[in-house]
Amino acid sequence: MISFPQIAYLAKQHKFIQKRLKTKSAIFLVGGCVRNLLLTIEQRPSDIDITLTGNPLEIYKHSNKIGLSHFMTEKFGTITLIKKGKTDIQYEITPLRTE
- What integer pLDDT is reported at residue 94 of this predicted model? 94
For each of the chain's 99 residues, which pLDDT tens digit applies? 556 677 888 899 999 999 999 888 899 999 999 888 888 888 888 999 999 999 999 999 999 999 999 999 988 899 999 998 877 899 999 999 776
- Tell me if 53 sits within 8 A of 96, measured CB to CB: yes
Cα 6 to chain centroid, rounded? 16
φ, ψ at 51 (rounded to 5°): -135, 155
**pTM of the full predicted structure?**
0.87
